[in-house]
Structure 1
Amino acid sequence: MNDDFQLISLWLAGNRDFQTGVEIYNRLGSDYMLMTMFEQGHTSYREEQLIEAMNELLLEIGKSENPIASNQTIIHEAALFVANVENHGIRASLLPNAPFKIKEAVKMRRNLYYEFMRLHALLIEQTPRKLRTEYALRILDIFDEIKPLWDLTNFYDQYLRLPDEPKVIDINSLTIVEANQLYDANYKYVRKFYDDDKKKENVLKRIEESQRLKTRLINANAFFHERLTFPTVTA
């Protein structure tokens, strides 16, 4: 293998000094977003991302030199994998064979984290008040957007599978009591999140479902919530 391959291998096998790793990645890597994030200094998260980026870079260099990996290369990569597990732990969501949905979640999570760091840095600077408010509100949105991504990847790391898809409720199979309970639950959900643009799709689904529930219960002369009126949906 060439000198670049050996250089990265030595860094991964050594004490993995953060600043040294950043200098190596800036010279050999190609992801500008990661470079910018690394330049902001050491954190546990950035160290984890640097190690992952260096492992990926090592594999890319190895494949470009020899598309059909030799036994020596395979053994070397296996040794690195074992070292990562023993010394740092490893997340299944970061492995090359992770499902596409997981890889996309990891990518989106990184992008949101980078955006958060950029906005946070701008807040510290002498930014006009109007922009500071805009940046602060966006940071709050980022917290909301990044949580389900972490929930998804953490689930995969723990169970090595994707979460089950939400079950579609067949309202015709519900008992009278269950149908009324669902109508009440939908009412509370809609009232709480009606003005939340992020939940608009779910709100509309619940309103439509409740209309069908109400029709079924009225036809059965078993509708218990005459006083619960849903907001009008505007186009």
Structure 2
Amino acid sequence: MSIQEWLHSNRDYATGRQLYEQHGSSTALKKVFALGESVYNRERLLAELKALLPAAPLPKPAAVPKPLQKEKPAKVKPISTTEKHVLIHRVKEQMYKLYREREEQHAIMGMEHLAAEDRYKHALRVLEISDRLTELWQQLQYIEQHGALPAPEPKYTIPDSGAEMLKLLANLKSQRSRLRNKPDRQEDYQLVCQRIEEIERRLKDGNQ
């Protein structure tokens, strides 16, 4: 039986485990699946076998988000066809990873003995992933429509008021905590860290 046939069958756990033994690459997961069927193992096995299939078209969200900008900014330089394909591929790769992680989060949330607090944390992560996927869909639509990168964000400014800087600093530190362990948001994480350092430097200089 092939993986595709298994997915369209009653998805017998033992058969699915044998398929992963044949085609899967993770020794650790093979050991986990060998422990026997459970809600988590069944859901994880399903996700892993799906991941072994050739990449399918990305699922469309229920409501396709509007493009970042309706009109192409005059100052945005179009990219070459090759660069466009590379960029689209990069965005789609991020989306595939996030869709897969979201499936895993849902599988974990379905575990019978998961504490309510832990289930809540996983639910928050699902929401974060969904928000990020919406952002990536917007980027993808913009690139495909305009053949260019979205216009850069307005130049970041730091307020002159010490009180306002402290307020902004607290907000940025909160963002840093949320972004620290998210591989798909490392560029944002580095940017937030740079802004925190700049504000702390200005506050220090102002107190001297």
What TM-score, normalized by structure 1, do the two folds share? 0.39
Higher helix share: 1
Task: Give the TM-score of the pair, scaled to structure 2.
Answer: 0.43
Q: Whose relative contact order is higher, 1 or 2, with alpha carbons under 8 Å and at least 6 apart?
A: 2
Q: Which has the larger radius of gyration?
A: 1
